[in-house]
Amino acid sequence: MVDVDEAIEKLATVIPDLDMKDVYGKLSEKRSRFTWIKRQLTPRQQGQILRLGIPGIGFRPEMRRFYPGGSTAAHILGYVDIDNRGVAGMERFIDLQGFSDLSAAGLTSGAELEPLTLSIDVRVQNVVHDVVVGAMKNYRSKAAGAVVLDVRTGEVIAMASAPDFDPNNPAATGADGWLNRMSNGTFEMGSTFKTFSMALALDTGKVTLKDSFDATKPLRLGGFTIHDSHGGMRRWLTVPEIFRYSSNIGTAKMVDMVGAEVQREYLTKFGLLTRMRTELPEVKSPSQPKVWKKINSITISFGHGVSTTPLQTAVAGAALVNGGLLISPTFLPQSRTEATASGKRVVKASTSDAIRYLFKLNGEQGSGRRADVPGFHVGGKTGTADKVVNGRYDSRLNFNAFLAAFPIDDPQYVVLTFCDEPRTGENNLTMAAETAAPMVRNIVRRIAPMLGVEPKFGNGNIQSANVQDY
């Protein structure tokens, strides 16, 4: 450098945010033959600096990753740092395969690499992202999220979590947007867990759909009292009614017949108590009691006491409607043959039939009615969980979720939505039926035609179903 001071003064006219003290130290270092002054300049800035005619100043071309979709699939794609190294999402997954290490060691060839194809359908992803962001705004919620899974292959077709960020400028939205709540956040999933309690009770053979349980009065256990939210239902309930009316008492009594040890064994098989395996690096481990006492078993049966990620809840739900095969979720294309080969049977086919029946019942007569889309027959289970504040459950703060499948007569896709701490909802109510369920409806009605699902109309209501068949 001929004149360091003059060079810095000239550069500052083109680069207003130039750290002059830092650059002065770098340019004054006699032993250094190279130093970065500013990276990722615009072509205009480069031209302006060239016209300054500063000796010793040069340029190196660099590649910069650009995400034309912005925040649409931010938590799936992730982003890269200034050196194009993956920091999060599938960007980081790719680099974790060893590509970045090989490149740094100079061992890569100049051959063109094939683009990495994801399982994501960008049309569906756009819809899901739109609904999730809209729910967060319209229901004035702390956060929201949704995922669409192919139950036959385990492919994630779309997934979104809000708040989110723009991978073109990750720092702009702040750290709260970086958290992918679908896979890296754990929550008590509330009554959606009754789906799994029902499945394990039926699969053991100790409970059938023809059984009834006494729900005439609250269940008292030690110093705890278990109530039903539908207080007017104080009577004996059949198993389908327990599911339809989301009875805590009935669910607790069913699981109590099975026992905590078998319950824990099944929930582990469903993948709800262990860290989920998938390509995304951002996956959080579930939490559960160190010792499962009877009270833990009872509360877990209806979704309190175990925290899991929404994505693994959807994956477990897919296993219960696809015939009983648990398939690890993947963000890469996978055929049905590959999925079947790697899948693990977790319940009998007859148990899966029963869950589909219960989903359909709840979708037509229960809390899932607000998720239904004419012609596409959505079934599922709502979950409204009170959140823990200072060690106590606060009924004013809810985590709402809806676990759905469609078309329910022959499920092809599972959709799970959640809405965290909504302050309003449809009909000014904040339960899952007025927040998470409408999110499913808004997603399915838009994506079903895109996915080639043919609508069916006519007499196919639940009244024609024969419980004895299951």
- List the domains of the chain with CATH numbers: 4-52 (no CATH), 70-103 (no CATH), 122-469 (3.40.710.10)
Strands lying side by side in the sheet with 156-162: 156-162, 143-150, 413-420, 392-406, 379-389
pLDDT of residue 464: 37
Q: Reply yes or no on whether the pLDDT at 392 is more than 50.
A: yes
pLDDT at 121: 98
Higher pLDDT: 464 or 135? It is: 135
Our CA dihedral for 317, 270, 155, 186, rounded to 10 degrees, sits at 80
Q: What is the pLDDT of residue 111?
A: 63
pLDDT at 465 over 60: no
CA distance 37 to 115: 33
Residue 348 has pLDDT above 90, yes or no: yes
The per-residue pLDDT for range 261-270, each reduced to its tens digit, is: 999 999 999 9
d(CA 351, CA 324): 8
Q: Which residue has the higher pLDDT, 26 or 119?
A: 119
* Distances from the Cα of 373 to the Cα of 142, 219, 360, 439, 448, angstroms: 27, 37, 12, 11, 10
pTM: 0.87
Q: What is the mean pLDDT of the chain?
A: 91
pLDDT in tens, 222-278: 778 888 876 556 889 999 999 999 999 999 999 999 999 999 999 999 999 999 999
How confident is the model over 418-426, as a mean pLDDT? 96
What pLDDT does residue 459 have? 59
Average pLDDT over residues 206-215: 95
Average pLDDT for 201-211: 97
Which pLDDT score, from 0 to 100, does residue 254 have? 96
Q: pLDDT tens digits, residue range 34-56?
A: 888 888 888 899 999 999 998 88
Alpha carbons within 13 angstroms on the beta-carbon side of residue 232 total 0
Residues belonging to the active site: 191
Is the per-residue pLDDT at 370 higher than 60?
Answer: yes
Give the helix/strand (H/E) hosting 198: helix 194-204
- pLDDT at 463 exceeding the cut of 80: no
